[in-house]
Chain A
Amino acid sequence: MSVLVVVEPDESGNGLSVVSQETLTFARQLPGEGVDAVFVGSVGDPDEAALAQCREHGVGTVHVTDDARLERYAARAWAQVVETAAETGGAAYLVAGGTPRGNEVLAHVAAARGVPMPCNVVAVVQDEPLEVERQVVGGAVLERVALGGGGGLAVASVAGHAVAPEPAGEPGEARVERVEAQIGDSDLAAQVVRVEEREGGDTSALTGADVVVGAGRGVGGADQFADVEQLASRLGGAVGVSRVVTSLGWRPHHEQVGQTGSRISPDLYLACGISGAIQHWAGCSSSRTIIAVNTDAEAPMVTKARYAVIGDMHEIIPAVLEELG
């Protein structure tokens, strides 16, 4: 019995997404003989970079589909591909990264099979019977749940950045196998008909950025972002904001970091005028270094940060820009 991992191509179109690499790393902790992968969101052969990464992660078989009807995303039809791959590969466990696509496709499989699906799992806590811990309440609380044990397929999604991606001890073969899924009209009833690409910055710029300059309510208004933008651009990074900022309509939702926004893991998160509520922390806690700029030395963001400067961000950021030259 193997572990089947739902993998997604990287947004840049080259290789696997970071979350998929994390999920493959996590999957190797599950009991089972070997790890296989199934591609979701791309039709035909994966690119060489993606296959090399699958090999590096010890993947035995890579399941792909050639069904041209799936060029445009349809979650239920992709779930058919995943289920068929699970059946042909004899999978005991099915895991995906806790991304919108990962959770959606898994939920269809879990619904069709009538099995539970714990989301946002972070760790295996016990092997026999298998128990895992998952994040609830935006990551502030961990819930212990039983996974599997019913003899059927056990399904779970893995929280983003729960484990750091690491290559397997032994590389896999990553043999490409075609999935012949029975896809009916009802599986395609909810299918993307059109995509409108976003003009200018997009969230992939935020989620993939090495530096994020965060801005919260402390910014003070929609017209107060010039120095924040300038600093982000000077550091070659992106702007990320708190929910208060998007709720007030100061910035668009796709810039929101947190439980109901994007999860980021940059080298540096410079959080300015952000209190650091747990729902925001859920999205930024895997940043390598956090520097807080805040008027309040007791703000959770300050106490959780590695470094902090206390004071008005609109005085501090210009001084930093000047110092950077």
Chain B
Amino acid sequence: MKTLKELSKKGSNKFEIEDDLAFFEVEKLNEDYLREEVEIPDVSEVTLIRHFINLSKLNYGVDLNFYPLGSCTMKYNPKINEEVAKKEDFLYLHPLLSIEYVQGTLKILWELQEFLKEITGMDAFTLQPAAGAHGEYTGLRIMWEYFKDKGERRKKVILPDSAHGTNPASSSMLGLEVVEIESKDGMVDPEKLKEVVDENTFALMLTNPNTLGFFEKDILKISEILKSKGALLYYDGANLNGFIGIARPGDMGFDCVHLNLHKTFSTPHGGGGPGSGPVGVKEFLAKYLPFPVIEKNEDDFFYFSKPERTIGKVRSFFGNFTVLLKGYLYIRELGSEGLKEVAKLSVLNANYIKEKLKKYYPSPFDRVVKHECVLSGKIYKEYGVKTLDIAKRLMDYGFHPPTIYFPHIVDEALMIEPTETESKETLDEFIEAMIKISEEIKTNPTLVKNAPHTTYISRPDEVRAVKELKVKW
């Protein structure tokens, strides 16, 4: 498709804005400051709308079809939430308005804090972080301040080899050092953990269920091992969908958690953001939360407060409010029973896919999974077909591919997360396509290797993109 710049024609744009001060002559800035030309494409409104609607047609979203991207929880986004979040009463709120004017807004944020405390079993929350990884940073930063107050300079963060890439990156943002431990049967082995945990251990960061979809069954032992050396346990909430309402990280010994509101609580991912990553802590860490924290007095008046040993702010203002609002609405729509159903049906869907496909895409680990399962395309290497090719071929069947080559501990990994909002029919169609592809690999591997055949573009040349860097028109 043409770019906006290629569509640009001088004088096409007829945008107008009222000037009710036409009579007022203002002294202009001098030429050291003043701009001559604004270089923006010049297009008419109709050209512009067609351009963007045509672009949207080249994009794939959950509203179109199944999006089984593992660890991303691409569930259906309730439309009512979008409608409510677009109310002018929310959109026109300036963040520096006096709190008397925004009591309703603060009530929503305060209640959301309370809901998240209850859901996770933690004692206090901040809603400020803008995304999951931002929440990770915030949580670790809180823990950093805690150790600093204790006069300890612990440096070692322990991560299972199946950890999300953001875990090590967030750790190094704080100058911490990462030690990776090997999984045993796809899970953390308490014996191995014992060997690496010492007085220099800052924390273990754990995703539970982990990225293989397994529940870390030794979680209480793991927690004890860390506590015995004064280290902390951090919960990466990316996979909370797998047991929400059934169990709570706070009851498992976690000291600090972040949630991915845009995943578990169904706020659309927007092509990669905005998201929201609230952080919850146990009581002993509450005084370190970023400010402001929202509180309520006995007259039901909501106000901001600054925790005693606050780490400061991790972004401007209060967080991604409209994303938080959608998370709040989702919880109000589902209640306790509904959230439990989310866990149950997302887990049922994942196990159903795994059972039906494990014969065709065998994984080294075959156990009950939570909300996602990891299969492998390894056996097709002998036909010269890689998991990447399988992913591309799925597009021809109308599906977005799963996450591939992650976690790294499974060769040719296919990480599938169906979520609870996909029907049995959709899953069956997907399973059927996966089985068909496995047959195609044996009979016509070239067909698979050259896929996709039906998309707007065929496979792009990624090497060329790096070699001949072109990052603007």
Q: Do A and B bind each other?
A: no
Residues of B within 8 A of A (CB): none
Residues of A within 8 A of B (CB): none
